[in-house]
Amino acid sequence: MFSGGLNNFRRGIGAGRILGALAIAGLMAGTATRALAADDTIKVGVLHSLSGTMAISETTLKDVMLMLIDEQNKKGGLLGKKLEPVVVDPASDWPLFAEKARQLISQDKVAAVFGCWTSSSRKSVLPVFEELDSILFYPVQYEGEESSRNVFYTGAAPNQQAIPAVDYLMNEEGVKRWVLEGTDYVYPRTTNKILQAYLQSKGVKPEDIIVNYTPFGFSDWQTEVSKIKSFGASGAKTAVVSTINGDANVPFYKELANQGVKAEDTPVVAFSVGEEELAGLDTGPLVGHLAAWNYFESVDTPENKAFIDEWHKFIKNDKRTTNDPMEAAYIGFNMWVKAVEKAGTTNQDAVIDAMVGVTVPNLTGGYATMMPNHHLTKPVLIGEIQDNGQFDVVWQTKGEVVGDAWSDYLPDSKNLISDWRKPMSCGNFNVATGKCGGKGS
């Protein structure tokens, strides 16, 4: 009895060990399968506001990123793997951008992030990307005065938008007096600082320039527009240079129309108003006002037609417009794909090194090249608002303009250059002192 019980006990132990081993093996196989499945995809972070004051502009960039990822997957993915978008909503909250960026990099393990709109959001996430050595593609015009190894600036620098726009107004429209109207944050303040210095270098007197800032989401424009109207009543040709961002543009343009501020008298040139923003406005009274971008939906090229057709097919809405930041996202994504293929890996350091010199078609019939300062070559276009919410291109540069990270018109930056190639690998090298000032951001 005892001997049989002992043998049964031993057989039980043996069976238990076998079952346990099988269970462990099964768990390990399951883990390996999940790891293999994860390894079969490359995660791509999408960091754009889908709620809050900036959703009017940023939601479209989320949508176009999903389209570009879907298109790439239809081509077979990247390095033999499918791309997997990871979308987060920082909700127009600048500190939340940093939290969501850290989540994308540390938890979701994305290979690169495409995102941000405002410079406040970009400044918020910049330390995170530098600390964790990840990659951000930033698709919106900005104020310059920055060059980070971890950021690729696919939107316009001031010399690719703001300064050419002012030149156009001076040379073609005969403007003598200037209203610099902006939202109160980094981009408008720095851009206007550059523009003030530039205008004064062209002989414009300080009393012929006024500068005004309003908060995000500002809606009570009656007093501010009255000031603009009064300033323009001197007899000298006056223009408004607008760095107003987000949904504050809607009541601003409505109030211009209400007070009879017409383009032929006081033209407004905007740096943050495109087809998407105009879609929510009665554009009739705004005909003739201007915007400066590097792309307009109305550009007639085969590349642009194919892009618009694909966009409408993907979004299932023929009325959804395209705009400049969408083209910048398109260029940045295609450059990243090409750099990953060139490097043969998604390793951030290898991709960062491979990015410089990458050239891809833009949508206006030319090519965009990533320069050593992590800025692009871009054409500059001035568009006039039409009553159908589109822009008629009235002026453009003869070719692409190289983006300048540091302004030639500010004393603290006029001697700075950026070159992230080795051995320099510096974002703010001072050509006067021969020294690198640090990271460059």
How far, in Å, CA of 232 to CA of 226, rounded?
A: 10
Instruction: Let me know the angle formed at the C-alpha of 235 by 230 and 239, rounded to the nearest 5 degrees.
Output: 65
How far, in Å, CA of 334 to CA of 6, rounded?
A: 70
Instruction: Let me know the angle formed at the C-alpha of 387 by 384 and 393, rounded to the nearest 5 degrees.
Output: 25
Residue 218 has pLDDT above 90, yes or no: yes
Q: Which residues contact 203 (CB under 8 A, 6 or more apart)?
A: none
Q: Which of 241, 250, 240 is nearest to 219 (CA)?
A: 250
Residue 22 has pLDDT above 60, yes or no: no
Region of 265 (left: φ > 0; alpha: ψ -120 to 50; beta: rest) is alpha
Residue 190 has pLDDT above 70, yes or no: yes
Query: Hey, where are the domains in the chain?
Result: 1-39, 43-156+300-378
Least confident of 19-23, 112-116, 422-426: 19-23
303 φ/ψ angles, rounded to the nearest 5 degrees: -65, -45
Q: Which residues contact 181 (CB under 8 A, 6 or more apart)?
A: 212, 214, 224, 228, 240, 241, 242, 243, 244
How far, in Å, CA of 65 to CA of 332, rounded?
A: 10
Which residues are 338's β-sheet partners? none
Per-residue pLDDT at 283 = 85
pLDDT tens, position by position, 59-81: 999 999 999 999 999 999 999 99
Per-residue pLDDT at 249 = 86
Residue 150 contacts residue 136 (beta carbons within 8 Å): yes
Q: Which of 417, 399, 420 is nearest to 407 (CA)?
A: 417
N-terminal to C-terminal alpha carbon distance within the chain: 82
Residue 400 contacts residue 368 (beta carbons within 8 Å): yes
Per-residue pLDDT at 74 = 97
How far, in Å, CA of 361 to CA of 51, rounded?
A: 32
- Confidence at 97, pLDDT banded by 50, 70, 90: very high
Task: Write the burial class of residue 370 (CB in 10 Å: 0-12 exposed, 13-18 middle, 19+ buried).
Answer: buried
Residue 47 contacts residue 100 (beta carbons within 8 Å): yes
pLDDT tens, position by position, 320-376: 999 999 999 999 999 999 999 999 999 999 999 999 999 999 999 999 999 999 999
Residue 300 half-sphere exposure, CB side, CA atoms within 13 Å? 2
pLDDT tens, position by position, 122-181: 999 999 999 999 999 999 999 999 999 999 999 999 999 999 999 999 999 999 999 999
**Could you tell me what percent of the chain has a pLDDT over 70?**
91
Q: Which residues contact 372 (CB under 8 A, 6 or more apart)?
A: 356, 418, 419, 420, 421
SS3 385: strand
CATH classification for the domain delimited by 43-156+300-378, as one of 3.90.1150.10, 3.30.110.40, 3.40.50.2300, 3.40.50.1110: 3.40.50.2300
Residue 295 has pLDDT above 50, yes or no: yes
Strands (E), 105-258: 112-115, 136-138, 151-153, 177-183, 209-214, 238-243
Span 399-409, average pLDDT: 96
The average confidence (pLDDT) of the chain is 90
Per-residue pLDDT at 291 = 96
Q: Which of 256, 421, 307, 274 is nearest to 64 (CA)?
A: 307
DSSP 294-361: S--TT---HHHHHHHHHHHHHHT-TT----HHHHHHHHHHHHHHHHHHHHTS--HHHHHHHHTT-EEE
Q: Which of 51, 45, 62 is nearest to 102 (CA)?
A: 45
Block residue for tokens 């938008």: 161
Per-residue pLDDT at 440 = 66
Q: Which of 323, 97, 94, 326 is nearest to 216 (CA)?
A: 94
